[in-house]
Amino acid sequence: MASVTLEKVNKVFGRDHIIKDVDLSIGDGEFVVFVGPSGCGKSTLLRLIAGLESITDGDLNIGGTVVNDLPPRERGVGMVFQSYALYPHMTVYDNMAFGLKLANTAKETVHERVMSTAKILQLEELLHRKPKALSGGQRQRVAMGRAMAREPRILLFDEPLSNLDASLRVQMRNEIARLHNRLGSTMIYVTHDQVEAMTLADKIVVLNRGHIEQVGSPHELYQRPATKFVAGFIGSPTMNFMPAELLSGTADGCRVKAAGVGEVSLPQAGDAYSKGSSLTLGVRPEHLRLEAPQGDNCFDIVNVEYLGNEVYVYLEPKEGSTLLIHRSEAPSQWQEGQQVSLVPDTEHVHLFDESGAALTLSATRSAA
Amino acid sequence: MNSRQFAKIAKRVGFWALIAVIMVYAVFPFYYAVITSVKPSSDLFRVELWPSTWNLDNYAQIFSQSSFVRAIFNSIIVAFSVVFIALLLGITASYALGRVRFRGRSTVLLVILGVSMFPQVAVLSGLFEVIRALNLYNNPAGLILSYTIFTLPFTVWVLTTFMKQLPMELEEAAIMDGATPWVTITKVFLPLMWPAMATTGLLAFIAAWNEFLFALTFTLTDTQRTVPVAIALLSGGSAYELPWGPIMAASVVVTVPLVILVIIFQRRIVSGLTAGAVKG
């Protein structure tokens, strides 16, 4: 177990700047999830920590020492690959023992470690089998076992569940969470699936185009997204965005006007922006209320989706082409073709400036 | 019998007839060599499909010649050395060409392919000078060197293609487990590459075993010759007599090991040659 610190880490492939000035500190025993759209550099960042790629610039610190130039085996990291990458010609036992044997571990110790790892992962019955005779979930467990057997200080997971079917994925997700509770080791997990990120992480790192957008607990990311990108990436269905104009702003709050919704008073501090600045208003689908149309505040319902436990109502936006979404518990009275007005819950409205950064809550509010 | 059944049977018959023709075409020369080799010299030119008498004199004669036994021994040494060296260099080269990214990788691959395009005769005189300069003339080592030159391009290409298909993550998993490139090659890749190695190794073996031109040019004395040359130089009682019986016996003796090897490895050869042709 160890902490990991990244200081101004950069990675350049030829002309492509993949990772840009990443600063991150991961505490001992934390479960950290890197999440982001494909091509955001999350896997590359994991491979930099593993030692499979070299760091172009910056320092990587594991357990108090800079490990930039150490090969993977000396970093004390274990990795679980997306395709599992089990050695097809070796039995489950040999797969798990391979790394230990290469490290010249005494025979009894190898046996002891493999057996105890197998016990944790319930692989004891399968030790003599070859990977081709295992199911997807079993292979996944062997891959974890192989990474764990050497007792690494940090366990790395590179999209480990993306090859499994949906129900098995939920089951393995639970197993990984329980494993982390039992082992208490530092884990870094890469995924593009926000559900995995939200359910597993102590801390989520949202990456976009090679830089960190926000680091925080799942709760923080959901409730207080620091940027428009994070707000749009976390949460399903995605947050509704509407262009808005700042009417007046003080340190204690602001008033904005959005097309259709009209004027709204919000708790965000608006003193840093000049009157008339164009902003973006963000509201999650569950923080909208639908009421009878009132004057200008009048939206057409274009589609209603019934999901059993909840209902999504899609509305034609005043500007742009992305439909607005309203989510409520089933049953719902709304039907396609009706007209409604939108009433956002001002406690849960987010404001973003033109650069995408969120306006912070006013001092009086954040203290409360 | 209706016409449908008739067509079915006709197709069957035609199919097997075609197979029979191909079998005769391919196997008959070898079969005739075998029966010629067991005939006494007096019966040599009497045409028969099954020998009336079985006579092993021709075999006894060739094995009583120490130069022929020596030639078999030389051939074995040369062929096995070529296979060993070609596979060793081929595996390590294919790791570099298939797995390590470096500038000019495809150029190197094309140059290697280019080498194999020269006909043997074109490089014969040049290679002769090289072998003289290395002091390997009239020495099996000279043959090993020249055969390896001609075998390596094919070996490297097949093994590189095969190596490229092995998943990248497998190598990375080995790196995470603390394996050096050499351990990765020997402990992880080698066991997975047996089909390709069997194919290329066997083809290298056959090429080295059958080669005639270099073997004739680069050796001088009976004790250094390989089997193909030794057979060609078998002489009869007088300058006007070709000793067909012993020649056929010798041919059978040197062909049988190849046939056995091919039968042993045939499944592997097929899976090696078609590897990568279709996925899965």
Percent of chain A's residues with pLDDT above 90: 46
Range(s) of the domain holding residue B17: 3-37
Structure confidence at residue B48 (pLDDT): 77
Same domain (yes/no): B214, B86: yes
Q: Looking at the domain assignment, is residue B9 inside a domain? A: yes
Domain count, chain B: 2
| pLDDT exceeds cutoff 60 at B275 | no
Structure confidence at residue A98 (pLDDT): 93
pLDDT band at residue A363 using 50, 70 and 90 as cut-offs: low
Same domain (yes/no): B200, B255: yes
Q: Looking at the domain assignment, is residue B53 inside a domain? A: no
Chain A, 114 to 153: residues with Cβ < 8 Å from chain B are 146-147, 150
Q: Which residue has the higher pLDDT, B47 or A139?
A: A139
Structure confidence at residue A226 (pLDDT): 93
ipTM reported for the complex, 2 dp: 0.81
Structure confidence at residue B278 (pLDDT): 46
- Please report, to the nearest 10 degrees, the dihedral formed by the alpha carbons of residues A171, A172, A177, A179 taken in order: 120
- How far apart, in whole angstroms, are the C-alpha atoms of residue A239 and residue A261? 16
| pLDDT exceeds cutoff 50 at B277 | no
Query: For A277-317, how does the pLDDT look when each residue is reduced to its tens digit (9 = 90+)?
Result: 889 999 999 998 888 888 888 889 999 999 989 999 999 98
Q: Looking at the domain assignment, is residue B122 inside a domain? A: yes
Same domain (yes/no): B199, B264: yes
* Residues A80-90, mean pLDDT to the nearest whole number: 90
Asked whether the CA dihedral A314, A316, A317, A321 is positive or negative, the reply is positive
Looking at this protein, which amino acid is placed at residue B200? T
Same domain (yes/no): B118, B25: no
Structure confidence at residue A157 (pLDDT): 94
pLDDT band at residue B113 using 50, 70 and 90 as cut-offs: confident
**3-state helix/strand/coil string of B25-40:** HHHHHHHHHHHHHCCC
Instruction: For strands A16-26 and A4-13, give the pairing.
Output: antiparallel
A269-273, B5-9, B98-102, range with greatest mean pLDDT: B5-9
Q: For A81, which residue in chain B has the nearest alpha carbon? A: B169
Which domains does chain A show, CATH number per domain? Answer: 4-232 (3.40.50.300), 237-367 (2.40.50.140)
Query: For A12-44, how does the pLDDT look when each residue is reduced to its tens digit (9 = 90+)?
Result: 988 889 999 999 999 999 999 999 998 888 999
Establish if B121 touches chain A: CB-CB under 8 angstroms: no
Nearest to A85 among B172, B179, B187 (CB): B172
Burial of A199 (0-12, 13-18, 19+ CB in 10 A): middle
pLDDT band at residue A365 using 50, 70 and 90 as cut-offs: low
- How far apart, in whole angstroms, are the C-alpha atoms of residue A108 and residue A267? 64
Percent of chain B's residues with pLDDT above 70: 94
| pLDDT exceeds cutoff 50 at B276 | no
Same domain (yes/no): B17, B129: no
| pLDDT exceeds cutoff 80 at B273 | no
Same domain (yes/no): B98, B231: yes
| pLDDT exceeds cutoff 70 at A258 | yes
Q: A49, A82, A98: best mutation site toward chain B, by most B Cβ within 10 Å?
A: A98
CA distances from A285 to A121, A192, A238, A268, A342 (A): 40, 22, 7, 20, 11
pLDDT band at residue B279 using 50, 70 and 90 as cut-offs: very low
Q: Looking at the domain assignment, is residue B27 inside a domain? A: yes
CATH code, domain carrying B129: 1.10.3720.10
Mean pLDDT of chain B: 86
Q: Looking at the domain assignment, is residue B49 inside a domain? A: no
Q: For A84, which residue in chain B has the nearest alpha carbon? A: B169
A46-50, B54-58, B247-251, range with greatest mean pLDDT: A46-50
Q: Which residue has the higher pLDDT, B16 or B113?
A: B16
| pLDDT exceeds cutoff 90 at B234 | no
Establish if B256 touches chain A: CB-CB under 8 angstroms: no
| pLDDT exceeds cutoff 70 at A368 | no
- Please report, to the nearest 10 degrees, the dihedral formed by the alpha carbons of residues B131, B135, B139, B142 taken in order: -30
Structure confidence at residue A367 (pLDDT): 52
Same domain (yes/no): B19, B103: no
Structure confidence at residue A128 (pLDDT): 93
Query: For A38-83, how does the pLDDT look when each residue is reduced to its tens digit (9 = 90+)?
Result: 888 899 999 999 999 999 999 999 988 899 999 988 898 999 998 8
Give phi and psi for A92, each to the nearest 5: -55, -45
Q: B176, B186, B194: best mutation site toward chain A, by most A Cβ within 10 Å?
A: B176
For residue A306, give every residue at least 6 positions away whose Cβ sits within 8 Å of its Cβ, in sequence order, or none: A330, A332
Same domain (yes/no): B128, B25: no
pLDDT band at residue B193 using 50, 70 and 90 as cut-offs: confident
Same domain (yes/no): B178, B248: yes
Using alpha carbons, select from B220, B269, B209 the residue that is nearest to residue B82.
B209
Q: Looking at the domain assignment, is residue B55 inside a domain? A: no
Same domain (yes/no): B154, B256: yes
Percent of chain B's residues with pLDDT above 90: 25
Establish if B178 touches chain A: CB-CB under 8 angstroms: yes
Query: Is A79 in Cβ contact with B173 (below 8 Å)?
Result: yes
Long-range residue pairs from A275-279, CB within 8 A, at least 24 positions apart, any chain: A275/A246, A275/A247, A275/A248, A275/A249, A276/A245, A276/A246, A277/A245, A277/A246, A277/A353, A277/A354, A278/A243, A278/A244, A278/A245, A278/A246, A278/A354, A279/A243, A279/A244, A279/A245, A279/A246, A279/A351, A279/A352, A279/A353, A279/A354, A279/A359
Same domain (yes/no): B157, B264: yes
- How far apart, in whole angstroms, are the C-alpha atoms of residue A288 and residue A278? 22
Instruction: For strands A339-344 and A154-158, give the pairing.
Output: unpaired
Structure confidence at residue B239 (pLDDT): 67
Beta carbon pairs, A and B, within 8 Å:
55
Structure confidence at residue A46 (pLDDT): 93
Q: For A104, which residue in chain B has the nearest alpha carbon? A: B178
Q: Looking at the domain assignment, is residue B158 inside a domain? A: yes
Percent of chain A's residues with pLDDT above 70: 98
Q: Looking at the domain assignment, is residue B168 inside a domain? A: yes
Same domain (yes/no): B111, B165: yes
Structure confidence at residue B271 (pLDDT): 65
* Residues A315-325, mean pLDDT to the nearest whole number: 86
